[in-house]
Amino acid sequence: MTGNYAIESRGLSKHFGDLKAVSELDLKVPRGQIYGFLGPNGSGKSTTIRMLCGLLTPTEGSATVLGTEIPGHARYLKPKIGYMTQKFSLFGDMTVFENLQFMAEIYSFPKVSRNARIDELIEKYDLVDQRRQLAATMSGGQKQRLALACAVLHHPELLLLDEPTSAVDPQSRRDFWANLFRLAEGGTTILVSTHYMDEAERCHRLAILDHGVKVADGTPLQLQANTGMHIIEVLADDPYRAQEALDDGDAIASVTQLGMRLRVLIPVQVEDPLGKVKGLLDSHGVQAEVRVTTASLEDVFVAVTMGTEGQDA
């Protein structure tokens, strides 16, 4: 592995009987960046993260994580990585302080500086008022901040986060991402899985997974610039009728309704996409404003996953 990458996988696969959870995943995660896994439930995100931190043994392929070969030497990774699961997995019958103290024991954090480190984290992650509160009685956002504090207590080089914001409110999500950017600026590499498009846009780079297959990889701007689709926006008083009209078009790859607007995807090889959309609407007597627009990450996701429908999940 070159020094530029914290993670480098080669043909990484995991099968559970006939189920191909992850298939031949090649991955390069640059050091000191936030790298996202975008995909729906069952796309292979969690399975990949568990293989990369040594909790699951790959069926095929291998990976190098912080200079350590996986599988085979996963035990050497423990002091170097932090792992945060989707479901809150700390001890509900212990206080915030006791949970952090327990994690310090697990990671053999030096006793001489242990309390100072715990105090630092309690203040940094806004848990001062919850210091003596039982974890089970905390709000979703407070539990999330405690879980992150526990994951970074030992100053890991790599942080693996498995859909960490799935159970918190929008403000807590924004605060959480502010903490992630501060960690990345300090040199921590972060691999985070999500099914939220707005979170994926925050990542320095991301891979889109679908049915265990990597279907796209790059920066958000690169992915949005290379959808292979014309993106047409339709604003109609009756979007349902407009969608019915567009569904009759052979050149239309996808139509998605967003409130009163429709997002229409047409392959780039199709000439005069705007004219084709207008023609379909006119032929059905639908009045609408039609314009060419730029791709969103949701458009990218729709475009790159259309060909994988029906594959093993």
Break the chain into its structural domains and give their ranges.
Answer: 5-223, 228-294
Tokens (6 digits) for 76: 């050497």
CATH of domain 5-223: 3.40.50.300
Condensed to tens digits (0 to 9), the pLDDT of residues 21-43 reads: 999 999 999 999 999 999 888 88
Integer Cα distance of 31 and 94 in angstroms: 35
Tokens (6 digits) for 103: 């994690």
Going by their DSSP bridges, the two strands 81-84 and 158-162 should be labelled as: parallel
Integer Cα distance of 28 and 131 in angstroms: 39
Query: What pLDDT score does 70 carry?
Result: 87
In the chain, which residues have pLDDT < 70? 1-3, 307-313
Condensed to tens digits (0 to 9), the pLDDT of residues 240-249 reads: 999 999 998 8
Integer Cα distance of 256 and 219 in angstroms: 24
The length of the chain in residues reads 313
Query: What pLDDT score does 307 carry?
Result: 55
Determine whether 271 is exposed, middle or buried from the number of CB atoms within 10 Å of its CB (0-12, 13-18, 19+). Answer: exposed
CATH of domain 228-294: 3.30.70.100
Q: With H, G, I as helix, E, B as strand and everything else as coil, classify residue 299.
A: helix
Give the pTM: 0.88
Only one residue has tokens 């975008």, namely: 38
